[in-house]
Structure 1
Amino acid sequence: MAARVFGGGYRVHLFSFAAWKIGDQEVRTKELVLSRAIPNSDDFNYQLEKYSYHRINVLFSEESTRAIVLSGIETAQCPPDLSETADAMRVPFVISLPRFGNLILDRSIDLFSGRIDWNGSEIDISLTAAEECINPEVLRRSEQVMQSESEIGQRVSEFLIESVLTSMAESGSALEVDKSMFDLQGLHFSESGYVEFWYDDAGLWGGHSLVVKLGPDNGLDFSIEG
Structure 2
Amino acid sequence: MAAIINQILVIILATQIMNGQSIDIYYPFGDLSPNEVDGFGGEYANEIMIITGIVSGENQAGHAGSKGYTTHIIDLQKWKLNGVLQSEKLVVFRPIESNRDFFHEIPKYSIVKLKVFLNEEKNRSVLISGEFILNPESDFIEMKEELQKPVFLKIDNFNHFQLNKDINVFEGNIEWNNEQIRFVIQVEKEAEITDEIKTIKTLLASQTEWKKRVDDYAVKELLPLKNESWLEENEKPWSKERFLKTYKLESIWISKDGQFQFWHEDGDIFWGHSILIEGTIKQGPNYADIPG
Q: Same fold (TM over 0.5)?
A: yes
Residue 181 of structure 1, aligned match among 246, 266, 273: 246
Q: Is residue 13–residue 35 contact of structure 1 (8 Å, CA) maintained in 2?
A: yes
Query: CA offsets, 1:128-160, max 9 Å, x none?
Result: 335333522222222222221111112212332
C-alpha deviations, 1:163-204, integer Å up to 9, x for none?
332121231514533322122111111113221111101123
Which of residues 49, 52, 72 in structure 1 aligns to 2:110? 52
* CA displacement, residues 114-137 of structure 1 (integer Å, 9 cap, x when unaligned): 110001010100123353335222
Check 1:70–1:202 CA distance in 2 against 1; reply closer, same or farther (3 A cut).
same
- Contact kept? 1:18, 1:29, Cα under 8 Å: no
Q: Give the counterpart letter for 1:192 in structure 2.
A: D
TM superposition outliers: structure 1 runs of 4+ over 6 Å: none
Counterpart CA distance in 1 for 2:262 and 2:214 is 8
Q: Check the 8 A contact 1:57/1:73 in 2, yes or no.
A: no
In the alignment, which of 8, 15, 33 is matched to residue 91 of structure 2? 33
1:9 corresponds in structure 2 to 68
Hey, what does 1:193 align to over in structure 2? 258
> Amino acid of the residue matched to residue 32 of structure 1?
L
Q: Tell me the residue number matched to 1:223.
A: 289
User: Residue 91 of structure 1 corresponds to which residue in structure 2?
Assistant: 149
Q: Describe how 1:122-201 pairs up with structure 2 within 5 A.
A: 122-129=180-187, 131-133=189-191, 135-173=193-231, 174=236, 176=238, 177-201=242-266
- Extract unaligned runs of 5+ from structure 2: 1-59
| Partner SS state of residue 111, structure 2 | coil
Letter in 1 for 2:96: I
Show the counterpart of 1:112. Answer: 170
Q: CA deviation at 1:39?
A: 1.3
Q: Equivalent residue of 2:290, what SS?
A: strand
Looking at structure 2, the residues matched to 187 and 22 of structure 1 have their Cα atoms a distance apart, in angstroms, of: 40
**Preserved CA contact (<8 Å) 2:162 2:170:** yes
Report the identity percentage: 22
TM-score of the two chains, using structure 2 as the length reference: 0.68
Give, as a single letter, the amino acid of the residue that structure 2 aligns with 1:45. Answer: D
Residue type at the aligned position of 2:267: A
Higher relative contact order (CA 8 A, sep 6+): 2
> Partners in 2 of 1:67 and 1:221 — Cα distance?
36
* Backbone CA RMSD of aligned residues: 2.3
> Secondary structure at the residue paired with 1:63?
coil
* Structure with the bigger percentage of helix: 2
Structure 1 unaligned blocks of 5 or more? none
TM-score by length of 1: 0.86
**Equivalent-residue separation in structure 2 for 1:92 and 1:29 (angstroms):** 21
Aligned residues, how many? 223
Task: Tell me how far 1:28 sits from its aligned partner.
Answer: 4.2
